[in-house]
Structure 1
């Protein structure tokens, strides 16, 4: 077998150097990620069922709104990236929160399918302008290579979004109904938009040094096997993330837990994400990102296996939520760090954007596909499907790590 060249530790995993990015900016961006993820991306998991029940829509149609948002995210990526490149992240991310608030308001007042889908289209645009991709780009333009630690730190806040907003959304829905709860979500986004005033108004680090290209030199074509394996890893991880996040509470209910217990257990997902990312920030620099990616792949497979074997017990359901959260949390970081080792960083955006096109499309289909799986195969059958998918992910991660393992002799 032909192996790729062994690689040093990923810059994203290494302890950072000095950075001009202050703690205030990190905290403000972190809090904005907490609110943006909780009010937009995780909205469907809490409100999907009551929306469908009141409007008389199928689960597949309700989830189709979230899928539409993901399609819009993919379609808006290039324009959003050019905007941040030209003007920095402040205006783009504030606008993302405003558009997201408008999307929540449309959902809160929806009277039919067209308005519902329009609300999700706005949420898709808002997510592209306000979630991690935009925040990472804004930090990179401010601090260059020294922004890596800040990027990892803000994911610690975002990783708690489900822990905070699933129980909060459930409580708001019980007190105000799902329409009133979505109105409160819109208000949260309007308030969170002000956090982005901490971002300097102009791009200040266009001159920031870039990391050296991997072996082969700048402009060298990436190995086809690396491109295919990384693409497969990214697609499977993103499909599971979007599909499961939309149905996680429903999967727990399918294991026999009541709605209130399922929401409580689901909080462990966010705690798992946070714990996994803290581990990466503290100790992940000991491993390069390609080898480190084996860990989240194994955690995801282990979580699904636990759910099938002992998910009807309290400890088993809790372990499922925690393991899935930890795996997903670490995978978010390694998925962004691996391209720095695999591809020429001068062409990072172009190459990764092309590789991830299938991921956007399939991620958009994942919530609807899982809704059909739940209807046709039940909760156990859907969990078996996810276990099989996670084992393919683990195999692809292992193949990529083997290609870049240190040569012996």
Structure 2
């Protein structure tokens, strides 16, 4: 009889993921114009500061991953909530540009402590054999973070300064997320103690030791290329559409993109139980550049833009799932936190530099050529995941069901 996913843990993490992504990520674009005004910066410099913060946050991810394995993901997330609240307060009270950037860097480090990478590690540590299903359920709930926090941030900012909005968000991290994460950490510690007298619960990876280094490299390349395309396109969505003669459709694209992410996660939860993570990763890696290709071929068609948003959103929704489930399938649950830290570092570094690279390319070689290069780079992710499948077939591996 198969184990049941820890529903209470998933629901608790779903709440903290919505708050974590909403307060530390999605709110920034809405508050950025007033941040720039108060700091006497252009909007470009504010987003450049965010890119630096994301880059430095990415560099800290491997160390954070090791901390998850050593101390437990629950305690790391508890500390992350406290650090996030403190950093939001520091950002609100920053006396100048230097203090603001320093606080923003700490916010991005804290984000790595409380968002998907840490939450996935907690689910693996709580119940390795149900973790793949648990991650799917969690991403379905957390997929509503932008839908919830974009209007909440806008509403708050209509009555409060950006500094006071950040103080409200600090309160959410301190008074809601921190107690929830502490509760999860205590529960995980009790479960670990209870299992000490029995055999250690471990999920074995399906790649043999001799091919794991190459498999890991291919996986990181695939994930990084997907992150490159996603980050570049999403940050520049409006100017890209304008450059293709579709500026007026930006709002329509936004209404299609968000629900399509949730749709892909829900469809996978209901119908994709028999699809292994490697197959899902390959599908996602085809959908993301496929959506960009649709935009290139159909612009300036409004129908084409909507098709782009749908396909791109479906791929993006699946991508967030496989970043948690594929490492577990390929390499197992032992040392999962350290593995996630390395993967997060590569993805975040690429995500931080991709928007600038695409902006530079658009200015110097044009929108169509830039998008074509982006789509081709994204397509190489398909090659990376197919190569992992080829490795599985060629080399001896541990026998394990791909869908738990």
TM-score range, shorter chain: 0.7 to 0.9
CA distance in 2, matches of 1:361, 1:277: 25
Mapped contact 2:123–2:135 kept (Cα < 8 A)? yes
Shift of residue 82 of structure 1?
4.7
CA gap of 1:257–1:100, structure 2 versus 1, over 3 A, is farther
Cα deviation 1:27-76 (Å, max 9, x = unaligned):
12101111111221223433345544554435553223223333343343
Aligned residue among 271, 274, 282 for 2:262: 274
Shift of residue 296 of structure 1?
0.8
Deviates more, 1:140-149 or 1:340-349: 340-349
Deviates more, 1:237-246 or 1:273-282: 237-246
Pair 1:17-2:9 in alignment: no
Mapped contact 1:104–1:123 kept (Cα < 8 A)? yes
Pair 1:236-2:225 in alignment: yes
Mapped contact 1:25–1:198 kept (Cα < 8 A)? no
CA distance in 2, matches of 1:41, 1:326: 21
TM-score, normalisation: structure 1: 0.80
Mapped contact 1:60–1:371 kept (Cα < 8 A)? no
CA distance in 1, matches of 2:13, 2:224: 27
| SS of 1:57 mapped into structure 2 | coil
CA distance in 1, matches of 2:308, 2:39: 32
What is residue 367 of structure 1 aligned with on the other side?
355
Aligned residue among 337, 342, 353 for 2:325: 337
Shift of residue 272 of structure 1?
1.8
* Equivalent residues, number: 387
Aligned residue among 111, 121, 125 for 1:141: 125
Aligned residue among 136, 139, 146 for 1:155: 139
Gaps of 5+ in 2: 396-404
CA distance in 2, matches of 1:306, 1:171: 35
Mapped contact 2:58–2:344 kept (Cα < 8 A)? no
CA distance in 1, matches of 2:367, 2:34: 19
CA distance in 2, matches of 1:189, 1:354: 26
CA distance in 2, matches of 1:97, 1:250: 34
User: How do 1:212-361 residues align onto structure 2 when only pairs under 5 Å count?
Assistant: 212-214=204-206, 216=208, 220-222=209-211, 225-252=214-241, 262=250, 265-310=253-298, 312-343=300-331, 346=334, 348=336, 353=341, 357-361=345-349
What is residue 3 of structure 1 aligned with on the other side?
none
What is residue 400 of structure 1 aligned with on the other side?
388
Shift of residue 360 of structure 1?
3.9
Pair 1:74-2:58 in alignment: yes
CA distance in 2, matches of 1:350, 1:95: 17
Shift of residue 287 of structure 1?
2.1
Shift of residue 233 of structure 1?
0.1
Mapped contact 1:273–1:329 kept (Cα < 8 A)? yes
CA distance in 2, matches of 1:195, 1:72: 27
Aligned residue among 111, 132, 147 for 2:116: 132
Shift of residue 229 of structure 1?
2.2
Cα deviation 1:211-240 (Å, max 9, x = unaligned):
234353xxx232554333222102112233
Mapped contact 1:89–1:199 kept (Cα < 8 A)? no
Deviates more, 1:359-368 or 1:342-351: 342-351
Mapped contact 1:310–1:316 kept (Cα < 8 A)? yes
| SS of 1:279 mapped into structure 2 | helix
CA gap of 1:357–1:191, structure 2 versus 1, over 3 A, is closer
| SS of 1:203 mapped into structure 2 | helix
TM-score, normalisation: structure 2: 0.80
Shift of residue 151 of structure 1?
2.1
CA gap of 1:183–1:250, structure 2 versus 1, over 3 A, is farther
Cα deviation 1:274-314 (Å, max 9, x = unaligned):
11111222222322222222211121122112323445444
CA distance in 2, matches of 1:60, 1:382: 20
CA distance in 2, matches of 1:382, 1:115: 35
